[in-house]
């Protein structure tokens, strides 16, 4: 019979962690071998005589953990049945002390086997508990599963996946998706089958660098598609090394990034066109400022006479109208492209729209010495639309044709029915355009690409407005050109109005008729914190025979209104301290001005601004710079 020392030696020298536990619920540690002490980073004197569950408690920060309960249940089963019990691999973190003295729990995984130990009379004297630390095995299996999941994600995400030998001379497709195929044998240039000629040098240089460094290869490059066209791919390859760190193969994947590259190119092109547009905007805004500045300087330096004043005022008026037109174009594009324009639709005949538009552009056509041919059908072309906006569409098309047609050219505006569509066509024999530009000529900022006669000015926003307004009417636009120097054709088609009655004649412009009448003298209060603006407007009204009072602050305006009871108040909205809307409310509350005509004179020209201004009690809303004809019409109506 072997001596007890032999058994003790076998217990202590076992490479697997073992300890003996008391056969009680608290499972006091009676003995422990060296293998377990090493695995658990513990000293024997710290464990002997201590409950297993005190030495290795559950993590209090992990309330959902069941490891201690499962271990207690296994040991209880051994005590109750006298039979061994095996625990499957379980996660059982153990407390550790960090180098800085703080304590925490380190994740560990263990497999355990508990067996009863009996004395000679069959009584249970202890439980032999064997544990094996399988943490590294579990982590390796987890890493393998994650790797498999990544691989599956790669292949299900539409990527091409492949293997290559160490020097990239042989290819084996793992998921070629009909694009890659195995190489026939070692071949240093198999990439040539997939890479366009002008990309091969760059790709080969990146490959050689990755092989030399044994580092991850990653490159965005163009590729040949199966249909022969070029696309873009993001290629990655990872080196796989043996136990000695030598690269034995590469695993690679390539994903199609053609859509992303196309989107990036579109953004770059948009930014480029926007930059050109902003440069053109700066140029166009400076143009009218120069003569206005020169005219003001001239009036200061020279002794003004009536002829000089008339000439300089005409210059200033022309340039102000030009600047106002530029700003109106910008605001119009903003409103239309953001969907803030509400159409006032009614049945109308497109032939009348063309007549109105031709009337608008006739001065420009004559100035450019163009011949304008108007070809209209005999029968009505009825559509549901906003007359003002459709006239704007046709006028913009004609303006565009005149702008890009040299002097003496021919413009043709025609209309006709095509199936259920009423179509307007504008042709010119001007500078034409390249085929690629016809695809985006209606885009914002695209006009900057054409070699326009800059003496005509403008921001090139007209065609973007045309497209947006026609689409708001449920129509379509198109453009084609045989090429540079061969003219262009623009077409706008709208749905025909089936069964509509002949549209009523457009009402006359009441404002224009009123403006032709001489306004009787009125007492007018002008309020604007811009002193120059207030004084010049007052001078113009005074020249028309009106009695004009001027104030630059809201409180002073209220005091003057109480004393003078003006018939008309022209109020700037953006006043300091008290804005024009609040001033209007207070004037309405005063007995002397409760029935006065209140006119907002403001730089705020959006439809939402107009609604707020009228809701504040104003009768009219005029946008700076004030159209004096419109203002005189309003005053004439009061008189």
**Residue-level pLDDT at 349:** 93
Q: Which CATH number fits domain 346-495: 3.40.1010.10, 3.30.565.10, 3.40.50.2000, 3.40.50.300?
A: 3.30.565.10
User: Residue 31, SS3?
Assistant: strand
**Residue-level pLDDT at 30:** 93
CATH of domain 512-638: 3.40.50.2300
Domain boundaries for CATH 3.40.50.2300 within the chain: 512-638
Alpha helices of 435-518 — where are they, by DSSP H? 435-438, 462-472, 510-516
Quick check: 341 pLDDT over 80? no
Domain boundaries for CATH 1.10.287.130 within the chain: 267-336
What distance in Å separates the CA atoms of residue 77 and residue 23, rounded to the nearest whole number?
Answer: 11
User: 110 with 129: CB under 8 angstroms?
Assistant: no
Tokens of 326: 């530029």
User: 53 with 68: CB under 8 angstroms?
Assistant: yes
Higher pLDDT among residues 533 and 79, named by residue: 79
CATH of domain 267-336: 1.10.287.130
**Residue-level pLDDT at 452:** 41
**Residue-level pLDDT at 562:** 94
Domain boundaries for CATH 3.30.565.10 within the chain: 346-495
Domain boundaries for CATH 3.30.450.20 within the chain: 4-133, 140-256
**Residue-level pLDDT at 478:** 94
Quick check: 1 pLDDT over 60? no
Tens of pLDDT along 378-393? Answer: 889 999 999 988 998 9
pTM (2 decimals)? 0.43
CA dist list (Å): 17 to 34, 67, 88, 115, 118? 7, 18, 16, 14, 21
Per-residue pLDDT, averaged over 247-273, amounts to: 85
Quick check: 616 pLDDT over 70? yes
User: Comparing 430-434, 442-446, 520-524, 627-631, which segment has the lowest mean pLDDT?
Assistant: 442-446
Q: How far from chain centre, in Å, is Cα 535?
A: 45
Task: Kindly state the helix (H) or strand (E) to which residue 307 belongs, with its residue range.
Answer: helix 306-337
What distance in Å separates the CA atoms of residue 637 and residue 519, rounded to the nearest whole number?
Answer: 8
User: What is the residue-wise DSSP string for 236-289?
Assistant: EEEEEE-TTS-EEEEEEEEEE-HHHHHHHHHHHHHHHHHHHHHHHHHHHHHHHH
User: Residue 246, SS3?
Assistant: coil
Per-residue pLDDT, averaged over 445-461, amounts to: 50
What distance in Å separates the CA atoms of residue 399 and residue 397, rounded to the nearest whole number?
Answer: 6
Quick check: 121 pLDDT over 70? yes
User: Residue 483, SS3?
Assistant: coil
Per-residue pLDDT, averaged over 190-197, amounts to: 80
**Residue-level pLDDT at 497:** 83
User: What is the residue-wise DSSP string for 368-410?
Assistant: TT-EEEEE--SS--EEEE-HHHHHHHHHHHHHHHHHTS-TT-E
CATH of domain 140-256: 3.30.450.20
Tens of pLDDT along 595-605? Answer: 999 999 987 77
CATH of domain 4-133: 3.30.450.20
Q: How many Å from the N-terminal Cα to the C-terminal Cα in the chain? A: 135
Tens of pLDDT along 553-580? Answer: 999 999 999 999 999 999 998 888 888 9
Query: What does pLDDT average to over the chain?
Result: 82
């Amino acid at each position: 019979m072997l001596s007890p020392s032999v058994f003790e030696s076998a217990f202590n020298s076992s490479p697997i962690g073992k300890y003996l536990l008391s056969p009680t619920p608290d499972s006091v540690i009676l003995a422990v071998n060296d293998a377990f002490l090493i695995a658990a980073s513990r000293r024997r004197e710290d464990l002997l005589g201590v409950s297993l569950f005190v030495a290795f408690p559950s993590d209090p920060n992990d309330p959902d953990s069941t490891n201690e309960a499962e271990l207690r249940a296994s040991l209880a089963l051994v005590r109750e049945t006298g039979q061994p019990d095996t625990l499957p691999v379980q996660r059982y973190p153990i407390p550790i002390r960090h180098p800085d003295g703080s304590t925490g729990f380190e994740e560990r995984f263990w497999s355990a086997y508990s067996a009863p130990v009996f004395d000679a009379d069959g009584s249970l004297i202890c439980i032999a508990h064997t544990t094996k630390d399988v943490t590294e095995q579990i982590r390796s299996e987890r890493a393998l599963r994650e790797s498999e999941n990544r691989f599956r994600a790669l292949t299900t995400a539409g990527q091409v996946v492949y293997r290559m030998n160490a020097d990239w001379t042989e290819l084996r497709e793992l998921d070629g998706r009909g694009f890659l195929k195995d190489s026939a044998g070692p071949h240093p240039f198999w990439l040539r089958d997939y890479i366009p000629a002008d990309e091969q040098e760059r790709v080969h240089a990146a490959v050689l660098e990755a092989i030399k460094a044994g580092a991850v290869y990653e490159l965005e490059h163009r590729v040949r598609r199966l249909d022969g066209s070029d696309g873009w791919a993001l290629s990655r390859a990872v080196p796989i090394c043996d136990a000695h760190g030598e690269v034995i193969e590469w695993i690679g994947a390539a994903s199609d990034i053609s859509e992303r590259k196309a989107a990036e190119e579109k953004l770059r092109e948009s930014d480029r066109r926007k930059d050109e547009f902003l440069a053109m905007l700066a140029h166009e805004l400076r143009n009218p400022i120069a003569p206005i500045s020169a005219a003001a300087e001239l009036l200061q330096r020279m002794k003004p006479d009536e002829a000089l004043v008339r000439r300089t005022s005409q210059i200033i008026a022309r340039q102000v109208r030009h600047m106002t037109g530029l700003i109106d174009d910008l605001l119009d594009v903003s409103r239309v492209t953001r969907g803030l324009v509400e159409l006032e639709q009614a049945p109308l005949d497109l032939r009348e729209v063309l007549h109105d538009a031709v009337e608008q552009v006739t001065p420009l056509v004559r100035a450019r010495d163009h011949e304008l041919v108007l070809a209209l059908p005999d029968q009505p072309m009825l559509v549901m639309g906003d007359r003002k906006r459709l006239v704007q569409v046709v006028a913009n098309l004609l303006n565009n044709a005149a702008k890009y047609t040299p002097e003496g050219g021919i413009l043709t505006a025609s209309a006709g029915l095509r199936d259920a569509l009423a179509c307007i066509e504008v042709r010119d024999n001007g500078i034409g355009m390249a085929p690629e530009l016809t695809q985006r000529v209606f885009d914002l900022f695209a006009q900057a690409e054409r070699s326009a006669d800059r003496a005509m000015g403008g921001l090139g926003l007209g065609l973007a407005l045309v497209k947006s307004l026609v689409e708001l009417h449920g129509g379509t636009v198109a453009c084609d050109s045989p090429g540079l120097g061969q003219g262009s054709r623009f077409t706008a088609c709208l749905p025909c109005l089936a069964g509509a009655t002949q549209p009523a004649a457009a009402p006359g412009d009441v404002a224009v008729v009123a403006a032709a009448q001489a306004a009787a003298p009125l007492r007018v209060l002008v309020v604007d914190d811009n002193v120059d603006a207030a004084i010049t407007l007052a001078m113009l009204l005074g020249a028309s025979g009106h009695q004009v009072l001027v104030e630059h602050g809201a409180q002073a305006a209220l005091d003057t209104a109480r004393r003078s009871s003006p018939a008309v108040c022209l109020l700037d909205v953006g006043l300091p301290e008290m804005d024009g809307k609040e001033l209007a409310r207070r004037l309405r509350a005063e007995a002397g001005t409760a029935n006065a005509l209140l006119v907002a004179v403001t730089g705020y020209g959006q439809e939402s601004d107009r609604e707020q201004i009228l809701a504040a009690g104003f009768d009219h809303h005029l946008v700076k710079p004030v159209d004096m004809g419109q203002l005189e019409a309003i005053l004439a109506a009061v008189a």
